[in-house]
Amino acid sequence: MTFQEKNLEELTKLVFSQKYEVIENPSKLRGKSGKYWSFDALVKNGEALFGIFIRDWKREISITQLRQLHKACIDTPEIHGGIMVCNIITDFSRDYSDQFGIKILSRGYLISKLRSKNFSSSY
């Protein structure tokens, strides 16, 4: 299976698991507000946890999704930052994510990262 045939969850796991511990399908985390937040995955870097939202949509990512990730990161004390993984990124969504300290990654970026590491696409 080539990188283009893999879904975003698989690509995300491949990229992050090279350097970090990836926790797939984590349980919901309770925020300071009392609300429960669902992340698609968590990345553990030492003691720090980063929440990941993966949106495998055929359209660009909405600002609403970026706001939701930002709120989840602020409300959940265990989470030190957020990562949005999606198919299409607009300049506006990139600017918005930079403003709020959210890392936004596209499918193309993930594939490029794997290819640059000479990672086997049959993995």
The span from the CA of 34 to the CA of 67, in Å, is: 18
Residues 6+ apart with CB under 8 A from 5: none
For the cut 90, the answer to whether the pLDDT of residue 55 exceeds it is yes
Domains in the chain (CATH in brackets) are 3-116 (3.40.1350.10)
Cα 3-12-1 angle, rounded to 5 deg: 20
pTM for this entry = 0.89
Tokens coding 115: 């290819």
pLDDT digits (tens, 9 = 90+) for 83-111: 999 999 999 999 999 998 999 999 999 99
Closest CA to 41 of 29, 32, 54: 54
pLDDT confidence band for 5 (50 / 70 / 90): confident
| Residue 121 reports pLDDT greater than 60 | no
